[in-house]
Chains A and B, each alone.
Chain A
Amino acid sequence: MSTDAGLVASSPGVPVGTSTAARARAPLGGSTLAVLGVTPFFLFSLLFLIGPTLYLMLGAFQTPDGSLTLDNIAGLFTPSILSAYKISIEVSLASAALGAVFGFLIAYAIVQGGLPAWIRPTMTTFSGVASNFAGVPLAFAFIATVGRLGLVTVLLNELFGVNIYRYGFNLLSFWGLTITYLYFQIPLMVLILTPAIDGLKREWREAASMLGASRWQYWRMIALPVLAPSILGCFLLLFANAFGAIATAYALTGSSLNIVPILLYAQIRGDVLHNANLGYALALGMIIITGCSNALYIVLRARSERWLR
């Protein structure tokens, strides 16, 4: 984290960022004021964002009395914690992959499907709402829908005699959680991919078909390669999104589903791992996973922007 450098560089006064050219154009005076103007932001992010995060990351490599150790990291590789990471990663992968596929199909349908004009703004507006409709209320909605007494469960049973719970479906399980997460994952994908599909130029399709390409060839050799960084990047974003989520899962399953955020929640509440520093390691693992997928996302986004201008 280079923030310390930034802070140090910006605090002693004038020089930073005021090269001669910039100074010539900059409104006169007020450099001290400018430094004062940005100091609160850096101080705030140091105190309430970077500091606490670094504290945990360093704590993961320390014993309770402060000496360095790798025991906490090693402690992550116990069956119960590993299985928590495994389930978390599986749910995140499944909801991100399905979200990406369905989101792509919807985005394609509303942009290039030749549907009535009102469909697209309706869908994007709704996506804006649904991608923000997460947390505890979302869990309630799905309990009311496909819970044991939910409308869909009851209707399927009464109309078709199909009891989905007898077929092994359970809302408080891997698939239940995945289906619920999709409610905000798909709209997010739609919101991000719609502009990307807009960026597919008509000329490319025309040129392709003039050269004798079939629809399938156009998609496989032109459209998908152009869209691939967007889709992949968005997939990573959805992955990180699901991985850090806890409220929906907690309201849905209580603590019966062993995913990392819920384990960490229990650890913070009551030190269930009986080792505070192991909790830090748990947090470090989460940061590494979400950090990697976000970093990759940024790289891929830069790539996709090359084409879609």
Chain B
Amino acid sequence: MNRSRIAPTVIVTLAALYFLVPLVATLEFSMRMVRGTYSLKAYQVVFADPRFQATFSFSVIAALCTIVIGALLVVPTAYWIRLKFPRLRGLVEFITLLPLVVPPIVLVFGYLRIYNSSSWLPFTATIAGTNVLLVFGYAVLSLPYMYRAVDTGMGAIDIRTLTEAAESLGASRRTILMRVILPNVRAAILSGAFLTFAIVIGEFVLASLLNRPAFGPYLQLVGANRAYEPAALAMIAFAITWACMGFLQLFGSGVPGRRLGSTILRFGKRGR
């Protein structure tokens, strides 16, 4: 038995090294801003940068809007498909998987062609319109995760019985959706929401090509011009990702790693 543990131990140790060394190196690098001593100067500089504050809040707001729109799109759809149109389920699943096939850069290329200022629906003609287009694009990117999470959540409760019970008690459709179904799939929506947040917060391609002052393009800009701040930003970004995944596990399910795996499972992170 002992002999057979050697190989797994070596593998896990090497893996841990590969995963931890870049984090340690980045942390170390981020603290080297003041010559000859370790300090948190780079972090102070980053946090004090007005562009950091502006772009970061822009992306947080974009992420929150994306989550709301994603939930508004996905929850009623998943509900009605399960309840009334089970035959359309394959089609809806196919559509929600498409964002994994179409790279984000291709998606935004299409937006720029269809929704430019001289088109029939000139989203990019105004700043507000471009922001809306950006959030819609993010909603598309998060569709696979959001839909999968919510649909799984609905599979776990008997929505038909719940709906019938609520109806026989005289509840209206809106009451059923808002006060019966929604609370029951809240955990699922939250799982989708935290994944969405992790995707949107540092997203680069859409924001950059739509020329929006988001966190992703700011990161890239700092990376191209500064030495120590990028490392500090990388640590901050890592902390945010960690927090999102932590919340996802906290709200997702009691089994560590299970839900996380099944939500992320099969979907790579695309184009980031």
* Interface residues on chain A, size class: 35 or more
Task: Let me know if B39 is at the binding interface, CB within 8 A.
Answer: no
User: Which residue of the partner chain A has the closest CB to B249?
Assistant: A125
Which of B11, B106, B203 contacts A264, CB < 8 Å? B106
Whole-angstrom distance between the alpha carbons of A188 and B270 in the complex?
12
Interface of chain A: mostly helix, strand, loop or mixed: helix
Task: Let me know if B35 is at the binding interface, CB within 8 A.
Answer: no
Task: Let me know if B64 is at the binding interface, CB within 8 A.
Answer: no
Task: Let me know if B192 is at the binding interface, CB within 8 A.
Answer: no
Which of B80, B97, B113, B265 contacts A192, CB < 8 Å? B265
In the complex the two chains form, is B271's CB within 8 Å of A247's CB? yes
Task: Let me know if A126 is at the binding interface, CB within 8 A.
Answer: yes
In the complex the two chains form, is A279's CB within 8 Å of B266's CB? no
In the complex the two chains form, is B109's CB within 8 Å of A294's CB? no
Give chain B residues whose Cβ lies under 8 Å from the Cβ of A48.
111, 136-137, 139-140
In the complex the two chains form, is A247's CB within 8 Å of B216's CB? yes
Q: Could you tell me the distance in whole angstroms from the C-beta of B25 to the nearest C-beta in chain A?
A: 4
Interface of chain B: mostly helix, strand, loop or mixed: helix
Give chain B residues whose Cβ lies under 8 Å from the Cβ of A121.
256-257
Whole-angstrom distance between the alpha carbons of A25 and B82 in the complex?
13
In the complex the two chains form, is A136's CB within 8 Å of B106's CB? no
Whole-angstrom distance between the alpha carbons of A291 and B167 in the complex?
43
Interface residues of B, Cβ cutoff 8 Å to A: 1, 4-5, 7-9, 11-12, 15, 18-19, 21-26, 28-30, 72-74, 76-77, 79-81, 83-88, 91-92, 94-95, 97-114, 136-137, 139-140, 143, 160, 163-164, 167, 173, 195, 198-199, 202-205, 209, 216, 219-220, 223-224, 230-231, 233-234, 237-238, 241-242, 244-245, 248-249, 256-257, 260-262, 264-266, 268-272
Q: Which 6 A-B pairs have the closest CB atoms?
A: A52-B110, A113-B8, A241-B268, A244-B103, A124-B257, A151-B25
Interface residues of A, Cβ cutoff 8 Å to B: 2-3, 6, 9-10, 16-18, 22, 25-28, 30-31, 33-34, 37-38, 40-42, 44-45, 48-53, 55-56, 59, 102, 105-106, 108-110, 112-115, 119-121, 123-126, 128-145, 149-152, 182-184, 186-188, 191-192, 194-195, 237-238, 240-241, 243-248, 250-251, 254, 261, 264-265, 268-269, 279, 283, 286-287, 290-291, 294, 297, 301
13 contacts between A and B (CB under 8 A): A9-B88, A38-B85, A48-B111, A48-B140, A50-B95, A128-B257, A137-B202, A191-B265, A237-B266, A240-B100, A264-B106, A287-B102, A290-B103
